Chains A and B, each alone.
Chain A
Amino acid sequence: MSNIKNGKGIIGWIDYRLPIFSTLQHTLVDYPTPKNLNYWWNFGSLAGIFLMIQIITGIVLAMHYTPSVEGAFASIEHIMRDVNYGWLIRYIHMNGASFFFIVVYIHIFRGLYYGSYKSPREVLWWLGLIILLLMMATAFMGYVLPWGQMSFWGATVITNLFSAVPIVGTAVVEWLWGGFAVDNALLNRFFALHYLFPFLIVGVVILHIVALHTHGSNNPLGIDRKGPQDSIPFHPYYTIKDLFGLSFVLTIFAAVVFYAPDYLGHPDNYIPADPLKTPAHIVPEWYFLPFYAILRAIPDKLGGVIAMISAIFILFALPWLDTSKVRSATFRPIYKKFFWFLLIDVIILTWVGGSPAEGKFILIGRLATIYYFAHFIIFMPIIGIIETPRPLPNSISESVLKKTIKDRI
């Protein structure tokens, strides 16, 4: 490692010409990190790791997959039954997508609670939202590839949404389909794009990390670091903490992959796609359910589409919708409660999205949708103004030291 600094040896020779080793040293080893980060800060690195898992298993699956309506479903079964460890790689990829979303959603909610979207981290937040959008596109296209009933009908429903656009809607949909219905042309192009998008995600993730490193990580107190006494080097403290958290998550992941690999999926997707027969209840995968609920809550076709898209785009405005000068919800008694209201609301929306659009679900879905938008557009601006935050500690160090002194007395 000293060779990187003094430029000696093979490492020094390469680093002088392409500073890859010193960059890694700077970003992963020396990088000063707030010393009070809690486990909610593990989820960023977890997301990066699941991205890598998806890319590796995905490339391997692509070696055996046939992207045609005649061959797709059978090629998946070929992978499951004939390819060595194909069943394992497929289940890892399938459940890896779900875990990627679990981890990213927790990562986002961490940001909402601790004010990580506030200045000077607005662009960091936007890059994160772009990653989320790319993930959703990638996951949607990936789900179409097995060409099961849900693949086909989910693709039909969601691509049909674009027909809501006035005037050009139908033309846009036919352009998307490359035809007059979801068929071979669409499957082929979804395969190509599904292979591409994860690499776009990698690019935006790199920008996301660069933006993060510009001002450093936020922390549970939401106050800036005042000096070196407030930081510790990333390695070994957070590398080992991240590895520990990873081992925990991987254990749960392994439990799902080996003991309940189809639990998060829909059994109808094991039925080959039939363009003549729509399943009784079309549902997207669980990670899309809240947005699906919002889409269905608005009785108007175009209105539903706009509401669904707005549900994500409203988050871009968050740094300005939240008027409070205080970052962390730890010191914001009113905002803290509303954070939990939002979480419960999103869970309710998930439940509604997975249920048939009938009876009580319609009213509950509409109320939950109204709350969702009210939370961002009405409550957050008002709370920031009327709330009296609790007094902030003077520094991170002081807050940590205070605790230990109190414990010793």
Chain B
Amino acid sequence: MENNSDDDKKTRRDFIHITSGVTFAAGAAAAAWPLIDQMNPSADVLALASIEVDLEPLQPGQSISVLWRGKPLFIRRRTEEEIAKARDIDLNILKDPQLDEDRVKNSNYLVMVGVCTHLGCVPLGQQGEYGGWYCPCHGSHYDTSGRIRKGPAPTNLEIPPYVFLDENTIKIG
């Protein structure tokens, strides 16, 4: 049997080394994934906590806060003035341009996640220079549509997914 050249032997060994290495790495990744993924939110946390809120008692100019997915949700029945102020806007001056019409389903009710988009504090209602909300942590000002107007927050207050079940009831999440 003829001797294979040294080069040939080296290549065959390399082949098996590389193949084993790749298979081992793939196996290690497959084994590691469940151990990492188990720390992701579990099914019960993900199960979209849906809540229903009765809006009947809300008068124009009144707000309520409800707990949704562990965070406060602001629901405000806006006055005509507030709605007008929200609509009278030049999009170019906004850091995060958005029309008020795009942020509400029924212009009378503003439904937002009450968490400042800067670093997560809860803004205070009916304060600040724009008639909306003011975050005391780092001085972000939001207007009557919950849009960021002044301060370090990068985006407008988040609008959660919700539907009107009837005139006076909404379901969030």
Interface of A with B (CB < 8 Å)?
Answer: 56-57, 60, 63-64, 78, 81-86, 88-89
24 inter-chain pairs at a CB distance below 8 angstroms, sorted by A residue, are A57-B35, A60-B35, A60-B38, A63-B38, A64-B38, A64-B42, A78-B42, A78-B44, A81-B43, A82-B43, A82-B44, A82-B45, A83-B42, A84-B34, A84-B37, A84-B40, A84-B42, A85-B33, A85-B35, A85-B37, A86-B38, A86-B42, A88-B34, A89-B38
Docked Cα-Cα span, A57 to B35, in Å, equals: 8
Residues of chain B within 8 A of A57, CB atoms compared? 35
Residues of chain B within 8 A of A89, CB atoms compared? 34-35, 38
Docked Cα-Cα span, A93 to B35, in Å, equals: 12
- Is B39 an interface position by the 8 A CB rule? yes
Residues of chain A within 8 A of B34, CB atoms compared? 84-85, 88-89
CB A220 to nearest CB in B, in angstroms, measures: 29
Which of A83, A85, A88 has the most chain B CB within a 10 Å cutoff?
A83
CB B27 to nearest CB in A, in angstroms, measures: 10
Docked Cα-Cα span, A301 to B32, in Å, equals: 48
CB B144 to nearest CB in A, in angstroms, measures: 41
Interface of chain B residues 24 through 62 with chain A (CB within 8 A): 33-35, 37-40, 42-45
Interface size class of B (residues with CB under 8 A): 10 to 19
CB B151 to nearest CB in A, in angstroms, measures: 37
Docked Cα-Cα span, A82 to B46, in Å, equals: 9
Docked Cα-Cα span, A198 to B161, in Å, equals: 47
8 closest Cβ pairs, A-B complex: A85-B34, A82-B42, A82-B43, A82-B44, A84-B37, A83-B42, A84-B38, A85-B38
Instruction: Look across to chain A and name the residue whose beta carbon is closest to the beta carbon of B41.
Output: A84
Residues of chain A within 8 A of B38, CB atoms compared? 60, 63-64, 83-86, 89
Known: A82-B43, A84-B43. 11 other contacts (CB 8 A): A57-B35, A60-B35, A82-B45, A83-B38, A84-B37, A85-B37, A85-B38, A86-B42, A89-B34, A89-B35, A89-B38
Residues of chain A within 8 A of B44, CB atoms compared? 78, 82
Q: Is the interface of A mostly helix, strand, loop or mixed?
A: helix
Docked Cα-Cα span, A57 to B45, in Å, equals: 22
**Is B35 in contact with A63, judged by CB distance below 8 angstroms?**
no
Which of B37, B38, B39, B43 has the most chain A CB within a 10 Å cutoff?
B38
Residues of chain B within 8 A of A85, CB atoms compared? 33-35, 37-38
Residues of chain B within 8 A of A78, CB atoms compared? 42, 44
Residues of chain B within 8 A of A86, CB atoms compared? 38, 42
Binary contact track B123-138/A, C-beta < 8 Å → 1, others 0: 0000000000000000
Docked Cα-Cα span, A88 to B44, in Å, equals: 17
Binary contact track B68-111/A, C-beta < 8 Å → 1, others 0: 00000000000000000000000000000000000000000000
Residues of chain A within 8 A of B45, CB atoms compared? 82
CB A58 to nearest CB in B, in angstroms, measures: 12
**Is B43 in contact with A56, judged by CB distance below 8 angstroms?**
no
**Is A56 in contact with B35, judged by CB distance below 8 angstroms?**
yes
Instruction: Look across to chain A and name the residue whose beta carbon is closest to the beta carbon of B24.
Output: A243
Docked Cα-Cα span, A86 to B42, in Å, equals: 9
Instruction: Look across to chain A and name the residue whose beta carbon is closest to the beta carbon of B37.
Output: A84
Docked Cα-Cα span, A89 to B34, in Å, equals: 8
CB A65 to nearest CB in B, in angstroms, measures: 12
CB A307 to nearest CB in B, in angstroms, measures: 42
Which of A60, A84, A89 has the most chain B CB within a 10 Å cutoff?
A84
Docked Cα-Cα span, A340 to B43, in Å, equals: 52
A63 touching B42 in the complex, CB below 8 Å, given contacts A84-B34, A89-B34: no
Docked Cα-Cα span, A85 to B43, in Å, equals: 11
Residues of chain B within 8 A of A60, CB atoms compared? 35, 38
Docked Cα-Cα span, A49 to B166, in Å, equals: 61
CB A47 to nearest CB in B, in angstroms, measures: 19
Instruction: Look across to chain A and name the residue whose beta carbon is closest to the beta carbon of B45.
Output: A82
CB A78 to nearest CB in B, in angstroms, measures: 7
CB A205 to nearest CB in B, in angstroms, measures: 22
CB A61 to nearest CB in B, in angstroms, measures: 9
Docked Cα-Cα span, A160 to B40, in Å, equals: 41
CB A237 to nearest CB in B, in angstroms, measures: 16
CB A139 to nearest CB in B, in angstroms, measures: 22
CB A389 to nearest CB in B, in angstroms, measures: 43
Docked Cα-Cα span, A56 to B39, in Å, equals: 14
**Is B39 in contact with A63, judged by CB distance below 8 angstroms?**
yes
Residues of chain B within 8 A of A63, CB atoms compared? 38-39
CB B19 to nearest CB in A, in angstroms, measures: 14
CB B45 to nearest CB in A, in angstroms, measures: 8
Residues of chain A within 8 A of B35, CB atoms compared? 56-57, 60, 85, 89
Instruction: Look across to chain A and name the residue whose beta carbon is closest to the beta carbon of B34.
Output: A85
Docked Cα-Cα span, A81 to B39, in Å, equals: 14
Residues of chain B within 8 A of A83, CB atoms compared? 38, 42-43
Docked Cα-Cα span, A95 to B39, in Å, equals: 22
Instruction: Look across to chain A and name the residue whose beta carbon is closest to the beta carbon of B46.
Output: A82
Docked Cα-Cα span, A245 to B33, in Å, equals: 24
Residues of chain A within 8 A of B43, CB atoms compared? 81-84
Instruction: Look across to chain B and name the residue whose beta carbon is closest to the beta carbon of A63.
Output: B39
